[in-house]
Amino acid sequence: MENGSTYNREAALRLVNYMEDVVISYVDKVIIEDAGFCGCPRCRLDVIAMALNDVKPKYVVTPKGFAYARMDNLEAQFQADTIVAVSKALKAVKEHPRH
């Protein structure tokens, strides 16, 4: 019976790439500030996808249905990597939008 209860506890958890939220938040800030960027959903998602492919993932385990605590002290290197990746992706999408 122990296996069943272990499974139930694990089923109530989810694996989340914390960097997804970090990148999305930063992309949304940059898009608002960049009047020359299209900002349509396709271009926004292209920037997010390209940036996420350039940053190291940071996975956390969190209960399903609950927001996980944000890491207030995100390492400086992660911040720098995120800024560089988003800037690079934004430039690429601006130069070659897929619409």
Domain-embedded: residue 29? yes
Distance CA 73, CA 35 (A): 30
Domain-embedded: residue 41? yes
Domain-embedded: residue 7? no
* Lowest-confidence segment of 3-7, 24-28, 35-39, 54-58 by average pLDDT: 3-7
Q: Which domain holds residue 74?
A: 14-95
- Count Cβ atoms within 10 A of the Cβ of residue 31 and give its class: 0-12 exposed, 13-18 middle, 19 or more buried: middle
Q: Which two tokens stand for residue 84?
A: 């560089």
Total domain count for the chain? 1
Collapsing DSSP states into helix, strand and coil, what is residue 17?
Answer: strand
The per-residue pLDDT for 1 is 46
Domain-embedded: residue 1? no
The listed range with the strongest mean pLDDT (3-7, 21-25, 69-73) is 21-25
End-to-end CA distance of the chain: 55
The per-residue pLDDT for 72 is 55
Domain-embedded: residue 72? yes
Q: How many CB atoms lie within 10 A of CB 46?
A: 20
What is the pTM (predicted TM-score) of this model? 0.78
Domain-embedded: residue 2? no
